[in-house]
Amino acid sequence: MRPFNRKKLFLIPFAVAAFVAAAGFVVMGLWNALLPVIFHVATITFWQAVGIFVLCKILFGFGKGGPGRFGGGAPWMRRRWEERIKNMSPEEREKFKQKWEEKCGHWRRHGHHHDFPFGNEWDKKATEGAGGTE
């Protein structure tokens, strides 16, 4: 294990502040360049842009998981699907898989491979919730 580096720890708050500032300027620039012309809304300030960015991160997630692991998206949505799948019987789960494949299977055929919401991870979660018997 590498030794603890206090210099890097000291730089973390500055890196976070720089990232938030950059994101704020990007959101503000895009908003002010596009939305007033398209939707006739008012322009926003830097702090309003930072607020919009933070609100979007809260609502839509912080990027954990990514596509392929429970479908990505907001953590509250993944937990909700996990609970639904965990509470299904094996027959219900199989029926759900078939319906999902009928509705969304075309994405796999076009190169968009996502196991949401019933990939191997879901089966593992479901069997863990059912006491591991299946």
**In a shared domain, residues 83 and 122:** yes
Mean pLDDT of the chain: 77
Q: How many domains does the chain have?
A: 2
In the predicted structure, residue 21 carries a pLDDT above the cut 90 = yes
Identify the domain containing residue 104 by its residue range. Answer: 75-129
Q: Per-residue pLDDT tens for 80-105?
A: 878 888 888 889 888 888 888 887 76
Residues 96 and 125 in one domain: yes
Please, which pLDDT band fits residue 31 given cuts at 50, 70 and 90? very high
pLDDT digits (tens, 9 = 90+) for 53-68: 999 988 887 765 554 4
The DSSP secondary structure of 53-85, one letter per residue, reads HHHHHHHH--S-S-TTSTTSS-HHHHHHHHHHH
Which helix (H) or strand (E) segment holds residue 43: the answer is none
Q: What is the mean pLDDT of residues 102-113?
A: 63
pTM comes to 0.48
**Residues 43, 89 share a domain:** no
Residues of the chain with pLDDT > 90: what percent?
A: 33
Does residue 107 fall inside a structural domain?
yes
Domain contains 120 = yes
52 shares its domain with 80: no
Task: Specify if 37 maps to a domain.
Answer: yes
Identity of the residue numbered 102: E
Evaluate whether residue 63 is within a structural domain. no
